């Protein structure tokens, strides 16, 4: 199954808020904590990661990360979503401005 909408959230709370809204559609949703590895979805081969869903949400911790790390992490999430067929994307960012003076919000 290809992903219809790929979402990247800057934290877990934002990811779950978005998932609750998308759940109203009735379509399957996956929330991924961090970007899965492109080759090995889990570190434990005895665990099978869920197949891609129509709505994929990747929860990052990039809001308070150093800028270079946040950009890299976010791009990796985008590439992972694109590899699963997503052609539409949504960036869920924090609704409060609590990053550092050198922060990366926006």
Q: In this predicted model, what pLDDT tens digit does every residue of 6-60 receive, in sequence order? A: 999 999 999 999 999 999 999 999 999 998 876 544 455 445 567 889 999 999 9
Contact between 23 and 74 (Cβ < 8 Å)? no
Distances (CA, A) of 84 to 22, 38, 60, 103: 18, 10, 18, 30
The per-residue pLDDT for range 55-102, each reduced to its tens digit, is 999 999 988 788 899 899 999 999 999 999 999 999 998 766 655 666
């Amino acid at each position: 199954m290809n992903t219809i909408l790929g979402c990247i959230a800057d934290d877990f709370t934002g990811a779950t808020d978005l998932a609750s809204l998308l759940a109203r559609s009735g379509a399957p949703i996956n929330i991924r904590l961090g970007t899965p590895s492109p080759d090995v979805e889990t570190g434990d081969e005895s665990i099978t990661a869920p197949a891609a869903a129509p709505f994929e949400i990747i929860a990052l911790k990039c809001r308070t990360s150093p800028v270079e790390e946040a950009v890299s992490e976010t791009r990796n999430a985008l590439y992972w979503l694109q590899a699963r067929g997503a052609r539409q994307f949504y960036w869920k960012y924090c609704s409060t401005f609590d990053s550092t003076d050198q922060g990366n919000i926006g």
